Amino acid sequence: MSTLEGKVALVTGAASGIGAATAKLFVERGARVVIADIQEAPGKALADEIGAAARFVRADVSQEADIENAIATAESEFGPLDIMVNNAGILGVVGSITELDAEAWDNTVAVLLRGAFLGTKHAARVMQPRGSGVILSIASTAGVMGGLGPHAYTVSKHGVVGLTKSAASELSASGVRVNAVAPGSTVSAMTAAVFTGNPDDEALAAERIGDASPMGSAIAAEEIAGALAYLASDDARHVTGHVLVVDAGATSAPPTSPFHGMKSTMVREAGRRTEN
CA 209 → CA 65, 144, 216, 221, 247, distances in Å?
Answer: 37, 19, 8, 13, 11
Q: How far is residue 70's CA from residue 41's CA, in Å, rounded to a whole number? A: 17
How far from chain centre, in Å, is Cα 144?
13
Q: How far is residue 169's CA from residue 132's CA, in Å, rounded to a whole number? A: 15
Enter the DSSP assignment of 56. Answer: E
Q: How far is residue 187's CA from residue 17's CA, in Å, rounded to a whole number? A: 8
What is the H or E stretch that residue 83 is in? strand 83-86
Report DSSP letters for 164-208, one per residue: HHHHHHHHGGGTEEEEEEEE-SB-SHHHHHHHHS-TT-HHHHHHH
Residues belonging to the active site: 153
Q: Tell which residue, 127, 122, 125, has the closest CA to residue 232.
A: 127
Q: Tell which residue, 186, 106, 92, has the closest CA to residue 140.
A: 186
Q: How far is residue 168's CA from residue 187's CA, in Å, rounded to a whole number? A: 29
Q: Tell which residue, 186, 24, 7, 18, has the closest CA to residue 88.
A: 18
